A and B are shown apart, each in its own frame.
Chain A
Amino acid sequence: MTSRRTRLLAGVVAAVAVIVAFLMTGLGRDPSVFASPLVGREAPNFTLPQLDGPPVTLAKLRGQVVVINFWASWCTECQVEQAALDQTWQQFQDSGVVVIGVNFQDTVDAARSYVRTDGVTYPVVEDAGSKAALAYGLRGVPETFVVNRSGRIVKHVIGPVGAPALASEINSMVGTGAR
C-alpha cells in the first residue's frame, strides 16, 4: 500500500514539475515581441502615396534596412514611441536605414496635422483601404516591422518601440552587412 501511495505521489509531483517547467519557459520572453508568421519571410511589397512627397515602394528599398511603423494620429501609444522612431531615423539614415511611417485608418488631414505638430521627420505614407495593414497582419497600432537588407522581416514588435532596442537590432544588421 505504501509503495503504491509513494508511486502516486511521485507521479503527481512529476506532473506538477512538468507543468511548472512549461510555464517558466514563457517568463524570459519579451511580451512585446510577437511570434508573427511573417518573421523570417519576405516583407509584403507595397507602393503607397507619401503624405508630402513621391510614392514609396518597398521593393525599391531592397539593400537597405527598413523600419516600417504602423501608426495613427488617434493612437496615444504611437505618440509615446514617436521620439524613439525619430531618433532612430536621425541616427541611422546615413547608414542605409530607412524609417517609414504607415498611417493606419486615419484621415489625411489628421495625419498631416500630427506630422507637423509632432515634428515627424521620416517619410510617412497613407494606407487607404488598409491593404498594407492586412498584408502585414496588423492587429492594431502601433506595430513595427524591421526588414533586413535582403527584404526579409526579422522582427515584429507590438506596442511602442524603444530607441535602444531598435538601435541594437539595426546595429546587428548594419554592422555585419547584408544578412
Chain B
Amino acid sequence: MTSAADNILEVRNVTKRFQGLVAVNDVSFDLRRGEILGLIGPNGAGKTTLVGMVNGTLSPTTGDIVFEGRSVRALPAFRRAHLGIGRTFQVMKPFPGMSVLENASVGALFGAKGGERNLRRAREQARESLEFVGLGKRIGQRADALGGPDRKRLELAKALAMQPRLLLLDEVMAGLNHVEIEEVIEDIRKVRDRGISILVIEHVMKAITSLSDRAFVLHHGEKIVEGPTDEVLRDARVVEAYLGKKR
C-alpha cells in the first residue's frame, strides 16, 4: 500500500541464528517516514536482537535491512550511525568518566554524516539535545554521578545529538513512574515532530497506545500480529503470547 519511497526502513525476511538457537525467524516489517511504530512482545521474544540488526550491533544470518532505499546489512554500526540511524539501549551505555556534555558531544561529533568536525559547534548541538531532555542544568556533572531517570535522559540525549533520521528506542520507559512516563511520551512526540522516524520497543503499554498508530508483535522470534495499535492489543494471539495458553 505504501510505496517504497515512503519507507525509511524496510526489514526483509531477517533471521538471526546463534549457534543452535533461532532468536529471530523470518521477520519483515516496514517503517514509514515520520511515523512512530511500536514493537511489543513478551520477554525473550527477540525484540532487542531484531533492533540490534537494524542499528548494526548484530548482523543478520539471512535477510536484508534496507535504510532509505539502500541495503545496510553489511555495514558496521558506526557507518549506520553516519547514515542517520540512532539507538538507545535497554542496558544503557553512557561514558561514565566523561561529563554529561562530553557524552552528548560524542554523538554530535561522530553522528549523522560523520558528525561535526568543529568542537564548538558540536558542543552547541550537544547542549541543545541535553536541554531538550531536561538535563540542561547537569551538563558539567560526571555521567556516573547521575541517578536512574537522569541516566535515561542522557541516553536519549546522546542519540538525539547524533541528529538521526531514524531513532530506535529500546525500552526507555523501564523503571519510570507514571509522571516520568508522561514526560518521556511528550518528549518522544516532540522528537517525531522534528521529522525523525521512530521505532519504540516497550512493555509499558501506555507508551505504545499513546505514541504509535501501528504496532507489531514478536513472540518466540516471529512476527505474529501487525496492524493498528488498539487492534493488535486486543488480538487473541497477542493476549495468549503475554498471558500464556489457557490450561
Q: Do A and B share a complex?
A: no
Task: List A residues at the B interface (Cβ < 8 Å).
Answer: none
